[in-house]
C-alpha cells in the first residue's frame, strides 16, 4: 500500500472489534486484505495478505474480502479498494471497517496533526489517517447490496457485489495476462521450449459486469520446440 500505512499495524491478543462483527458473515473462503501483522486472520483461520508483512499475493478469488482499518490509513483509498476487489468473486461480500470521522477529527485536534489538502490528516508519526462514515464507505464501494452497516466505535459496511464494472473487468484481464506470462516464462525455463504463443478469447455477458462486458472464455497455448 502506501503512506507508511504499515506503521499503523499492531499485534493483537484478541479479535479486533470489526472482526468480531464480520465473523458471523463469513461463509466460504475469506481473505483479510491489508491484514497488518495478521492477528485477526490467524484467530479466524482465514487467508491473509499484506504488502509489508505477508507479501505472497493470493492466487485465487474469495467469497469474502475484508479490509479492517486499511482505507483510513491510505491517501488513495479507491485504488487500494480496487486492488482488494481483484480477489472477490462476483456475488461475494466486501467488508470494510474504518475509524470514524468523529474520532479522527478529535485525535487530529488533540495531536496537532497537519491537514492533508485532499482530506485527512498527517499524524505526528508521519502516517496518514482519515475518518469514514457509513455513507462514505458506501460511496467508495459504489454499487452492490448493503447487507449490514454500523457506526459507533468504528464505521463498517458489508456489501454484496453482484457485478463488476467495466474498469474492474479490464483490470482483471491485465492481472490474468500478467499471471499467464509469468507461468509461460517459468515453463520455458523448465522445459527449454523456445517459443510460446498464447491466444485468449472473450465473450460478452449481461450477468457479470453489465452490458457488453468482456469475460475470459478460452486460452490457447501453442508450443514451439
CA geometry: angle 133, 75, 110, nearest 5 deg: 65
Please write the tens of the pLDDT for every residue from 49-101: 998 888 899 999 999 999 999 999 998 999 999 999 999 998 999 999 999 99
Q: Quick one: 183 and 214 in the same domain?
A: yes
Distances (CA, A) of 138 to 54, 81, 155, 160: 28, 12, 11, 11
Q: What's the pTM value of the predicted model, to 2 decimals?
A: 0.69
Supply the pLDDT for residue 172: 67
CATH code of 80's domain: 3.40.50.150
Q: Quick one: 148 and 188 in the same domain?
A: no
- Lowest-confidence segment of 55-59, 97-101, 173-177, 182-186 by average pLDDT: 173-177
Of 122, 141, 160, at which residue does a domain stop? 160
Tell me how far apart the alpha carbons of residues 59 and 67 are, in angstroms, rounded to a whole number: 18
Supply the pLDDT for residue 216: 47
Supply the pLDDT for residue 169: 66
Supply the range of the domain harboring residue 194. Answer: 166-224
Amino acid at each position: 500500500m502506501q503512506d507508511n500505512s504499515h506503521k499503523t499495524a499492531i499485534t493483537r491478543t484478541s479479535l479486533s472489534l470489526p472482526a468480531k462483527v464480520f465473523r458471523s458473515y463469513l461463509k466460504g473462503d475469506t481473505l483479510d486484505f491489508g491484514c497488518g501483522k495478521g492477528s485477526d486472520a490467524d484467530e479466524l483461520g482465514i487467508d491473509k495478505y499484506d504488502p509489508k508483512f505477508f507479501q505472497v499475493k493470493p492466487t485465487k478469488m474469495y467469497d469474502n474480502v475484508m479490509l479492517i482499518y486499511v482505507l483510513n490509513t491510505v491517501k488513495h483509498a479507491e485504488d487500494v479498494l480496487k486492488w482488494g476487489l481483484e480477489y472477490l468473486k462476483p456475488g461475494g461480500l466486501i467488508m470494510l471497517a474504518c475509524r470514524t470521522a468523529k474520532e479522527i477529527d478529535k485525535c487530529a485536534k488533540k495531536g496537532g496533526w497537519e491537514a492533508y489538502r485532499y482530506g485527512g490528516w498527517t499524524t505526528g508519526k508521519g502516517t496518514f489517517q482519515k475518518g469514514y462514515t457509513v455513507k462514505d464507505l458506501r460511496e467508495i464501494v459504489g454499487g452492490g447490496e448493503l447487507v449490514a452497516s454500523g457506526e459507533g466505535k468504528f464505521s463498517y459496511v458489508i456489501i454484496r457485489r453482484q457485478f463488476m464494472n467495466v474498469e474492474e473487468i479490464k483490470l482483471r484481464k491485465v492481472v490474468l495476462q500478467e499471471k499467464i506470462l509469468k507461468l509461460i516464462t517459468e515453463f520455458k525455463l523448465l522445459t527449454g521450449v523456445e517459443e510460446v504463443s498464447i491466444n485468449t478469447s472473450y465473450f460478452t455477458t449481461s450477468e457479470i459486469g453489465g452490458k457488453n462486458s468482456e469475460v475470459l472464455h478460452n486460452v490457447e497455448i501453442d508450443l514451439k520446440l
